[in-house]
Amino acid sequence: MIKVALAEWCATVEADHFGALGAYDTGFADEVAAIVIELSDDDHVKTIVLKSRGHDFAPRVPASPPPAGLIPTTWHRSFAASSAVYQALCFSKKVVITVVTGECSAAGTNLVLCSDLTVADATATFASPFLDTPEANFVLAALTVRLNRAKAWMLRNSVIPAAEALSIGLINQVVPADRVLDAAREISQAVAGMPLDGVTMSKMLQQAVYDAHGIGREFDMADHYAIHRWVASEQEDKATR
């Protein structure tokens, strides 16, 4: 169940965890996207905070690639379309903050890359998004952590601890576990001091940079990557029979 709480210009979106995105749970993805889109159009909201109720922000949930027949339809609508979950976050008109504790699987790392700011505790780990999630946006990763680091992350499929994630610019703050929400609130309060039009214009300028670098075109390639992932999975299954 996803709950939304609104206070002092900040909308907090809380789920048990966000690992369901990595299991291709279209219902969960659609619900998160719809909430973010609605909040992005709400004149009483300046920041959107994503957090989990459990210790792990996005634990890895075992899953097989979506069936090939569903990739251009059901999977595309939930994970790759312009109104799907990741693009809804990436192109939100409001400042999106992720609060990460514990495990952040590939799907969770996608959320971090699509958000504006991230606060994490010292136990947080960030999995590479490129092997398991076809909707991972390499251009966005390259803009966030630099091209050479993004290439190494993709090729090595490494897991990055919180301290390293901070040093390479993937996240913005590392604080003790009992301070993550306070840190996110402090950021929200700082943004709340800006005029609503100023928040929106700042995000529009950011989106112009994204458009110039081809973030949207990279999302458009997600179907192609998903089909290749499905083919690779089928070949792996045949090899083990």
- Alpha-carbon distance of 135 to 156, in angstroms, equals 18
The model's pTM is: 0.93
3-state SS track over 18-41: CHHHHHCCHHHHHHHHHHHHHHHC
Helix axes 138-145, 196-213, angle to 10 degrees: 110
Which domains are present in the chain? Answer: 3-179 (3.90.226.10)
- Alpha-carbon distance of 183 to 118, in angstroms, equals 10
- Look at residues 130, 125, 118 and name the one whose alpha carbon lies nearest to residue 163: 125
pLDDT 10s per residue in the chain (241 long)?
899 999 999 999 999 999 999 999 999 999 999 999 999 999 999 999 999 999 999 999 987 777 788 888 899 999 999 999 999 999 999 999 999 999 999 999 999 999 999 999 999 999 999 988 999 999 999 999 999 999 999 999 999 999 999 999 999 999 999 999 999 999 999 999 999 999 999 999 999 999 999 999 999 988 888 888 777 776 766 677 6
- Look at residues 35, 10, 30 and name the one whose alpha carbon lies nearest to residue 20: 30
